[in-house]
Amino acid sequence: MKIPLFLSGLLLIFNSCGDHPSKETATTTEEIPRIKDYLPFSELSLDDLSMFNVETPNWKIVGDVYVDRSKEKVLSSSPGKGILANIPEEDTNNGHIFTNFEHGDLEIEVDVMMPLNSNSGIYFQGRYEVQLLDSWGEKEPTYADIGGIYQSSNYKEDGGYQGNPPRTNASKSPGLWQHFKILFHAPRFNNEGEKIKNAIFQEVWLNGVLVQENVEVTAPTRSAAFEDENAKGPLMIQGDHGPVALRNIIYKKYEDKKLTLSDMYMTEYESNSDTIAGLDTLKVIGESNVDSISANMVTGNRVTRILSYKGQMHVPNSGNYLFNVGLNHGGALLLIGNDTVVDLNGKFGLDTPGIGEIMLEKGKIPFVFIYNKNYPWHTGFGITVEGPEMQKMPLSARNSLGSANNGSDNDILITVEDETITQRGYMMHGEEKRTHCIAVGSPDHINYSYDLSRGTILQVWEGDFLDVTQMWHLRGTNQLAEPKGFSVSFHGDPDFMTLGNKDMVWPDSIPSNIKFKPLGYEMRNNGRPVFLQQEEGASISNSFKSSENGRGLERTISIEGNMDIWHKIAEGESIKQLEDGTYIVNDESYFIDFSGNSDLVPIIRQSNGKDELLLKIPAGSGNITYNIIW
């Protein structure tokens, strides 16, 4: 949308953004694509080995991989493409593999699979290692566990070789795909080639958990490919310690460049309108030259105001730039040159994306940013920008969105000690807020949430129990309880349903023609809840407890009825039965061990582009027990 650069007195009227449809609505209408809040990554093609420098035969491009969880350091593969596999050969030099490009600052995402007790590593610039290891079940991880920053070659009297353990063990079971997101900053050198700043791992995320933050490394890892330090180097995967598989490798290379603002002038207006219009008709509260953009420049408490910033934007490179404005309840407009880049003219919250992408030429260009504080009880906005070879960075002042945080220096947490704890509340499942949830925390830190209105388990997590800050802070604006720990989500549809045949589409909520009655839950002698429901004449109870061996959740279903009923065990991008009889669900990536259920055998079917693992339970009574392993 084109408009003239801000003119005093011009009436600005724009269309506001609508809410996302609920899951029920989205299933019956054309699905609205999710707006991406990042610029595209480059993909490291795994059609062949042409993107790598490789000198030994242990590295192969394959179509699929499989790990037997009972066999140490064994990785099997099948022909195809899309996966980079290190399959060591006996009596052979099993060397490392290097990318044929070099990098300085790098952001990378990659899936990895570790066999039982296997060991590898990702070396940034071929020098600084993020450890890959089968660390499943390790209670006290060290620098040598997955996600650890391995020891450097620089020994210090007060710190040894300076390895850095992950904050928590977010490792999945051997044989499951695990997702890394890593943001690395290369060391800096002056014009004489002298190092003036050490390399830093700004963030390391494993399976959605932040395990490293701002870890400085003073020298290359002890077993690095290069002993010196440099501004650039190739990415390296270690090949001499054990098998490993990698897929979905995407990356961005960054230069040390920033977009900056200057010559800014701020005007504060008194306003009681939900929209931004006719600023020349509003009373001016104050105006001044400023060197930053911040919601904290609003004067007065519990007031409604408009802040208008005008200035110059200095663009470091020509190319596409993506701006993202977040609002702690309010409105905003971002205008660059003659374009409206972000239009949030109305009343919006943090759940509404204020994302705009624009092509900019290198150099200086005028901009206008207008913030409408139209909620007297809320203040706060944030602006970020990402560009070509430029990492996402803030444009607003550091504390401008501070009031939108959970709002307390001390979050409100529920912890578990010696007894099982339950907490009712609202919880998010994907993009949908579920309103009839109960979270269950156990003393052994295997926790889960359950949707009572649909009779379904939502997610399971290991770690601390529950963050209920949003339920209580500022009158519970979002009213959400959030898991504290490494979690895996499930399909969230009703777990049980009567189907006319095995090909009927599984509904995402209880159909109106189905006789369904939730009966709440009972606390049994072991202190754990048992969830009860009736459906089409069948009485169903569900109970959950931690698995005896390793990280897992054991589910027991007791059922009594006079007709057949179906149970949806899992849903994913793909579901396969492995050689050991377990089922692997690829999407969230977890195992289902269904052994020990006599003649009951699940089926795998495809529906709506997904694989589903379904079980037909015949009329009568009986118990079913299976394990969810992740």
Q: What is the DSSP letter of 22?
A: P
Q: What is the pLDDT of residue 6?
A: 39
Q: What is the DSSP letter of 165?
A: -
Would you state the CATH architecture of domain 42-254?
Sandwich (2.60)
Residue 256 has pLDDT above 50, yes or no: yes
Domain positions in the chain are 42-254, 260-394, 413-629
Across 323-332, 384-393, 541-550, least confident range:
541-550
Q: What is the pLDDT of residues 2-33, one digit of tens each?
A: 443 433 443 333 333 333 333 333 333 344 45
Residue 437 has pLDDT above 80, yes or no: yes
Q: What is the pLDDT of residue 296?
A: 94
Across 21-25, 162-166, 307-311, least confident range:
21-25
Q: What is the DSSP letter of 207?
A: T
Average pLDDT over all residues of the chain = 89
The CATH number of 260-394, from 3.40.50.620, 2.60.120.1560, 3.90.1150.10, 3.30.70.20, is: 2.60.120.1560
Upper half-sphere CA count for residue 81 (Cβ side, 13 Å): 7
Residue 155 has pLDDT above 70, yes or no: no
Q: What is the DSSP letter of 469?
A: H
Q: CB neighbours (10 Å) of residue 326? A: 24
Per-residue pLDDT averaged across 186-195, rounded?
A: 95
Decide: residue 68, CB within 10 A, 0-12 exposed, 13-18 middle, 19+ buried.
middle
Residue 512 has pLDDT above 50, yes or no: yes
Per-residue pLDDT averaged across 595-606, rounded?
A: 91
SS3 per residue for 523-569: ECCCCCEEEEEEECCEEEEEEEEECCCCCEEEEEEEEEECCCEEEEE
**Residues whose CB is less than 8 angstroms from the CB of residue 589 and which lie 6 or more positions away in sequence, other chains included:** 172, 176, 177, 178, 488, 630
Upper half-sphere CA count for residue 193 (Cβ side, 13 Å): 3
Write down the H helix ranges in 322-425: none
Task: Measure the CA–CA gap between 527 and 415, rounded to whole angstroms.
Answer: 16
pLDDT-based confidence at residue 478 (cuts at 50, 70, 90)? confident
- R_g of the chain, CA atoms, integer Å: 27
Q: What is the pLDDT of residue 322?
A: 98
> pTM for the complete prediction?
0.86
Q: What is the pLDDT of residue 599?
A: 85
Q: What is the pLDDT of residue 1?
A: 47
CA-closest candidate to residue 466, choices 484, 493, 442: 484
Q: What is the pLDDT of residue 10?
A: 37
Q: What is the pLDDT of residue 579?
A: 87
pLDDT-based confidence at residue 587 (cuts at 50, 70, 90)? confident
Per-residue pLDDT averaged across 368-389, rounded?
A: 96
Distance from the first to the final alpha carbon of the chain: 47
Upper half-sphere CA count for residue 202 (Cβ side, 13 Å): 13
CATH number of 413-629: 2.70.98
Q: Which is higher by pLDDT, 620 or 130?
A: 130
Q: What is the pLDDT of residues 559-585, one digit of tens each?
A: 999 889 999 999 999 999 998 899 999
42-254 and 260-394 share one fold: yes
Q: What is the pLDDT of residues 33-85, one digit of tens each?
A: 567 889 999 999 999 999 999 989 999 999 999 999 889 999 999 999 999 99
Q: What is the pLDDT of residues 106-142, one digit of tens each?
A: 999 999 999 999 999 999 999 999 999 999 988 899 9
Q: What is the pLDDT of residue 615?
A: 96
The percent of residues above 70 in pLDDT, for the chain, comes to 91
Q: What is the pLDDT of residue 160?
A: 53
pLDDT-based confidence at residue 630 (cuts at 50, 70, 90)? very high
Q: Which is higher by pLDDT, 620 or 180?
A: 180
Q: CB neighbours (10 Å) of residue 383? A: 23
